[in-house]
Structure 1
């Protein structure tokens, strides 16, 4: 502390430019680390939601006529090269969504139930609203498709891309690590 300075905000005004520059750099680093921590929390919540949602896959495999091979593919949902081209995957997502009561009678997202489902995971409240908004935006883009399985598949593709664009998609490394640990 400078001599004769009581420690108040006036002391800052008397500091040399080099000291102010250092303080500014430290403040920027703290802000960036906080943002990175929040982003990592979002990614971890997304990982947890994905794993929780995926628990219904085995129950829905037969109903959606998903082959063992396609079921294996499903575990690679977050890979960059995942293909959204098989109707059965959309049917499986529909079945899984119904299993958790996340769809209305018209096979559209039930906003309140979906938000509660996401909030049921540790720190889910952090991204629940954002996820519901992303899914809803994707539903609006594909609302005219009459076949529910195809529509839901395209909504899932849109949602995945929106998550990737916002940096909240879990990496395959995270997902594989979690699979191994379970």
Structure 2
């Protein structure tokens, strides 16, 4: 086999391996985004329940639906209070208002294919809590943790797109 033939075979082999890896990785990536979408929608079901307790205005409630947008602002304490309430609703916080690791892991696993993301989500949230542990106000701390969580998920390509969430909202509305 000539040098040119070996180069072509080697290049072809690399291309085949790369294509196989992409085939394996992209569906996995898509699966985690789908799980994050399901977790987001499932967690969001508690928002209406928490509206009064967290003193959310109708306008702030609508803002909440844009959580995954890059320009979403984490500047309203009542959003942190709403997230705290929603987390309590699903028993995801300890008495000290910190993430309950086991319950959060199980909550994420309760969604279809949730096991592919449960440990990573718990790890991300825990890391974010460590960064903001000194904030004495629970609502502000939880809001900072949520912001850190979002930024980390966006960086890791785990966040669902607004288009994906909107499509799901529409499908749910049509099914009602």
TM-score, length-scaled by structure 2: 0.93
Structure 2 counterparts to residues 68-107 of structure 1, below 5 A: 68-107=58-97
Aligned with 2:97: secondary structure?
A: coil
1:148 aligned residue? 138
TM-score, length-scaled by structure 1: 0.90
Residue in structure 2 matching 1:48, options 35, 38, 45: 38
Residue in structure 1 matching 2:166, options 167, 176, 182: 176
Aligned with 2:125: secondary structure?
A: helix
2:56 aligned residue? 66
Structure 2 counterparts to residues 124-135 of structure 1, below 5 A: 124-135=114-125
Q: In the TM superposition, what is the alpha-carbon distance from 1:16 to its structure 2 partner?
A: 4.5
**Does 1:137 pair with 2:105?**
no
Name the CA distance, whole Å, in 1 between partners of 2:138 and 2:47. Answer: 18
RMSD over equivalenced CA pairs, Å: 1.0
1:111-146 CA distance string (max 9 Å, x none): 000000000000100010000000000001000101
Q: In the TM superposition, what is the alpha-carbon distance from 1:23 to its structure 2 partner?
A: 2.7
2:155 aligned residue? 165
Aligned with 1:48: secondary structure?
A: helix
- Structure number with greater Rg is 1
Name the CA distance, whole Å, in 2 between partners of 1:19 and 1:107. Answer: 59
User: Number of residues paired by the alignment?
Assistant: 168
Unaligned runs of 5+ in 2: none
